[in-house]
Amino acid sequence: MSEGLNYKFLVDTFFIALSGVPITLFVTAVALLVALPLGFLLALTRINQIPILNRFSQVYVSFVRGTPIIIQIFIVYASVPLILTAFVEKYNWNIQIYEINPIWYAFIVFSFSTTAILIEVFRSALSTVNKGQLEAAQAVGLTNFQAYRRIVIPQAMVVALPNICTATVNLIKATSLGYAMSLQEITLKAKVAANVGYNYVEAYLDIFLVYIILCSLVEFGFKLYEKRLRKYKYVSA
């Protein structure tokens, strides 16, 4: 038993944890790339009361919001291989199901859950833009698409951005649950390192540090972007 913290291990493991950052960011980026457009489109179906899709989004959001991410991970991680097995046997595909990189499961789970969050983020943001903005754009001869792209979305984004930032940071933190499906991200790497000499406190401190640095950087980036977008609200006469 060592007394106090093992500082050498603390420093070494910090870099091991840091080596998990690319995977964490990769999963985050893919989830956002899927969820941003999908969440936006489904939010539009909610706002414009498109039949069926509107209802679908509503149910989808309550399902995802009403279940812990760890359970979503277990379900996807357990059920997708079963479904795939059925397909593989039926069509004689040449896939080794149990050798699939868990990052694919991570993509699925985190895209699904982030989409649900962003539907609500975009829905509330779009509803803050007065209907008159769209009407005025149509009246000066813009198509619906142009009106959304040039008038409605820029204004909605200003409102949505702080919440997108929160969603992104939550997503980064949630990827730590990826260790449950042996995703090689920050938490798993540090924990594995700790297993050797039971230096869990040091490992957890490292994990803590890496996440707080990562999330602070992301928040800072969002703040800068928000400042630029809000230009029209801040200028004074």
Partner 1 sequence: MLEIKDIHKSFGKNEILKGVDLTIDKGDVVVILGPSGSGKTTLLRCINFLEKADSGKASFGELKVDLHSASKKDIQAIRQKTAFVFQSYNLFNNKTALENVTEGLIIGRKIPKAEANEIGKKALDKVGLSDKYDSYPSQLSGGQQQRVGIARAVALNPDIILFDEPTSALDPELVGEVLTVMKNIANEGTTMLVVTHEMSFAKDVAKRVIFMDGGVVVEEGTPHEIFVSPKEERTKKFLKRVLPEDYTFYI
Residues that bind partner 1 (CB under 8 A): 130, 132-133, 135-143, 146, 150-151, 154-155, 232-233, 235-237
Contact 179, 103 (CB under 8 A): no
CB of 121 to partner 1, least distance (A): 19
**CA distances (Å), 98 to each of 80, 85, 116, 179, 189, in order?**
11, 10, 29, 17, 21
Nearest approach, Cβ of residue 123 and partner 1 (Å): 20
Please state the closest distance from residue 58 (CB atom) to partner 1, in A: 23
Comparison of 90 and 233: residue with beta carbon closer to partner 1: 233
**Can you say whether the dihedral through the CA atoms of 160, 66, 69, 80 is positive or negative?**
negative
Instruction: Name the minimum Å distance from CB 135 to partner 1.
Output: 5
Residue number with CB closer to partner 1 (139 or 212): 139
* Nearer Cβ to partner 1 (67/130): 130
- Token pair, residue 20, equals 């998990």
Rounded to a whole number of angstroms, the minimum distance from the CB of residue 137 to partner 1 is: 7
Tokens 């500082």 belong to 7
Q: Which residue's CB is nearer to partner 1, number 66 or number 132?
A: 132
Both tokens assigned to 97 = 């199901």
Nearer to partner 1, 135 or 198 (CB): 135
CB of 131 to partner 1, least distance (A): 9
Structure tokens that stand for 174 in this block? 């949630």
Enumerate long-range contacts of 183-187, CB under 8 Å, 24 or more apart: 183/23, 183/27, 183/102, 183/103, 183/105, 183/106, 184/20, 184/23, 185/20, 185/23, 185/24, 185/27, 186/17, 186/18, 186/20, 186/21, 186/23, 186/24, 186/210, 186/211, 187/17, 187/20
The residue among 96 and 236 lying less far from partner 1, judged by its C-beta, is 236
